Amino acid sequence: MVVLIAMLPGRPNWLSFIFGRLAGIVPWLSIGLYMWSPGSTAEPPGFVYANTLIPS
């Protein structure tokens, strides 16, 4: 789809970019709602702490 859109002359079509951004934000929103909902005892998984503490 992206290749076909990129080959068309004229103004660029941003539909693929917008769809990708919306599809990518949905998991982060659901994780955020789960983590910070009132009464939730959820904590970030251990690999989150490992990624922040271990220098790359």
Q: What is the pLDDT of residues 6-24, one digit of tens each?
A: 676 777 778 888 888 999 9
DSSP helix, strand, coil percent of the chain (3-state; round to 5) = 60, 0, 40
Half-sphere exposure for 11 (CA within 13 Å, toward CB) = 3
- Residue 54: its pLDDT value, please? 66
- Residue 39: its pLDDT value, please? 80
Average pLDDT across the chain, whole number: 76
Does the pLDDT of residue 51 top 70, yes or no? no
Backbone angle region of 39, left / alpha / beta, with phi > 0 → left and psi within -120 to 50 → alpha: left
